[in-house]
Structure 1
Amino acid sequence: MTEKIKVMIVDDHDMVRKGLKAYLSTESDIDIVGEAASGNEAVRTFEVLQPEVILMDLIMEDGNGIEATKQILAKDPTKKLIILTSFYDDEQVFPAIEAGAMSYLLKTASSEEIIQAIHKAHLGKTVIDGKVAQKLVAGLHKSPQPFDQLTTREKEVLKLIAEGKNNSEIAETLFIGIKTVKTHVSSIFSKLEVADRTQAAIYAYQNHLFR
């Protein structure tokens, strides 16, 4: 008798987890060993559940899927992570692939496509949604820009710098500490290769970063 593929479902929407479990459980060679409602819960429980394949949502309130993917693979590189999400923008696709995700599917995928991706992941094979594949190919041909190197938080800080806010005002606006703001500002200066806040603001406006 063929051993079943142990699968864990990670999504913060109860109905999504129930729906996935309902049709995946109809497969004779797939065993849903557990669920997690957040990235942080997945990191805490995957060692107990011992799944071979993990279906991972990206945007969740308690620990996003990218960080969870990184942490899980850091603890056990043998796990196969399949991103299953509604998002396919650059800020999600590239970090997810870089984090070590085996496959990247959109939630518009059919049940057959998801089942096929699980089987392939178990064999170490990758499945990438067509729209996501286009993003990846386009990214290979696009010259990296300094702005692209900024994290989402650094972009938020740069926007506030361009608006003329000082570190205290930025900290208050983003609900973070002054030291954290200073760290972000230093990183922004380094990545954009600018010497001060004025040059950073000029860079932002000259490149039409914020409209």
Structure 2
Amino acid sequence: MDIPAGVRYSGEIEIERYCHKFGLDMVFNLVFSGTVESVDKDLFRMHSINPYQVTRIFKKKKEFTLFLTQNHTVYNVKCTVKKTEEDGIIFYPEKSSIDEEKRRFHRFYFCCKDLGDFSIQKNNSVLCENACVYELSRSGMGILNPCIDSVKKGDLITVKSEDDSLEATVEVIHAENRGRYDFIGGRVKNSNQNLINYIIKKYIKVSEEIINELG
């Protein structure tokens, strides 16, 4: 698959994080963009990277995913950094690691400290507090420590932030024990905030923290 030169592309780096509250290892996808130029056969240079601090992260993280669009279809191209420069990187694509992007909605994963504590209510009664929303998309939510004995598939619960007034009605899709913690996966029916804006705000904050830490 060809990578047309002189085009600005988006990409993401997988950043491993350890979330202390539940002792979880998770991956945060750090999104960036840059302009790609051809250097040699199967060798490319990316410059004008935004955020610019990501260039320094490539000194530690040598692998990333480039999003390439062809015929209205988005492909994930795994790439490896060969060399870092002051204002960019030299990289090559792993041609054996190209697959079609099938996600309809991106899921964003957060540590508990990123979004703060949540309470869970059903029928106007509080079931539990100190729950953690660690997975969020425009239509779904994953919750840790949600007292699963009090809910079942199909229930409507209210998930309410104790920090910044987010409140959402969630339909329970599944509730299960995963060893060290309980987990609810649900479909967001409605919320008192625009979830996309909420995710973007929190994502930017966490991204800045990671960039400052690693960059």
TM over 0.5: no
TM-score (norm 1): 0.27
TM-score (norm 2): 0.27
Task: Return the structure number with greater helix share.
Answer: 1
